[in-house]
Amino acid sequence: MWTERERLLLILSATPGLGERGLARLLESRVPLPHLFELPAEELRARFGLAESAARAISGGAPQRHSHVAAVERTLARHDVRLLVRGDPGYPQRLAATDDAPPLLYARGSAALLEAPALALLASRGESRACLERAAALAGEAARGGACLVAGHDRPVYRAAVSAAKAVGGGRILVLDRGLLEAFGGDLERDLFPTARVWGYRFDADAALALSPYPPEAHFVGLQNRRRDQLVCLLATRIVALEIRAGGVMEAACRAACARGTPVHVWDAPGVPEGNRRLLGEGFPTLG
């Protein structure tokens, strides 16, 4: 079973209307977690800038909120899901060094992968077949060389790369744009990727790590896919830009990664998008 602190963190993070920024303000305050649930809603709003709905939910007390998440807690504990809190040992160092790190991550799988060299393969939407084949080849090559792959879970380029890495026993860090239970469809035992299940149906907790900054049952909303891709880039020690649309989010992500000092290589092949050409023209190193 989880500790009392983990239980309170789950209750807090699952509070409707709180959000990542509200949770960050509460945790950064260093107010003891049990005491937060004893504060009146008015003080929570004034002191931490919380929405009224979130403040009222928290001020209702932890026991009342726990009734909403007790079944979730049992499921997560049964599958060894851990909570990684910014500032605590075990939180990913590559994220902790940034100003925009999530205050809390739900983690299932091998945390040791966070210390390994990690390759991210980026592509804008509408990937070509050649792009997906190149992604699979690069992921397999990286896995055989001892690097792990860091990817999202619901884009063609991510699926191709993760399946190729799993085929050769490579490590995979999977960043989610929704809650763990929502992404896994409630079944934390199965592999996230249907295309990868040919190499084994079960989620391999020794060779994979699923991370989510969202409450376990949270659905995908808004721009959470951009947050996912941002975290993928922050966790990577090397990035390859495969097919990048000019002026798009991925082009900006490549420039931001380069500014942080993360090596970014750009695929150069016949027919690559204008975004690739622009990055290459700016001096980004070429990957043939």
pLDDT at site 198: 62
Residue 106 in domain = no
Residue 99 in domain = no
Residues 168 and 280 in one domain: yes
How many domains are contained in the chain?
2
pLDDT at site 99: 87
- pTM for this predicted structure: 0.94
Residue 98 in domain = no
Alpha helices of 118-248 — where are they, by DSSP H? Answer: 129-144, 156-167, 180-183, 224-235
pLDDT at site 193: 76
Residues 68 and 188 in one domain: no
pLDDT at site 63: 72
- Low-confidence stretches of the chain (pLDDT < 70) are 195-196, 198-200
Residues 183 and 71 in one domain: no
Residues 118 and 199 in one domain: yes
Residue 138 in domain = yes
Taking alpha carbons only, the member of 182, 184, 183, 128 closest to residue 160 is 128
Residues 131 and 224 in one domain: yes
Q: CA–CA separation, 201 vs 195, rounded Å?
A: 10
Residues 163 and 58 in one domain: no
Residues 154 and 254 in one domain: yes
Residues 177 and 54 in one domain: no
Residues 171 and 282 in one domain: yes
Of 78, 96, 120, the residue at which a domain comes to its end is 78
- H or E segment to which residue 11 belongs: helix 4-13
Single-letter residue type at 51: A
CATH number, position 281: 3.40.50.450
Q: CA–CA separation, 193 vs 154, rounded Å?
A: 8
Handedness of CA 156, 151, 209, 165 (dihedral sign): positive
Residue 59 in domain = yes
Q: CA–CA separation, 77 vs 220, rounded Å?
A: 23
Of 35, 54, 78, the residue at which a domain comes to its end is 78
Show Cβ contacts of residue 186 under 8 Å, excluding neighbours closer than 6 positions.
Answer: none
Residues 58 and 120 in one domain: no
Handedness of CA 72, 77, 82, 87 (dihedral sign): positive
Question: Whole domain around residue 148: which residue ranges?
Answer: 111-287
Residue 83 in domain = no
Residue 192 in domain = yes
pLDDT at site 18: 94
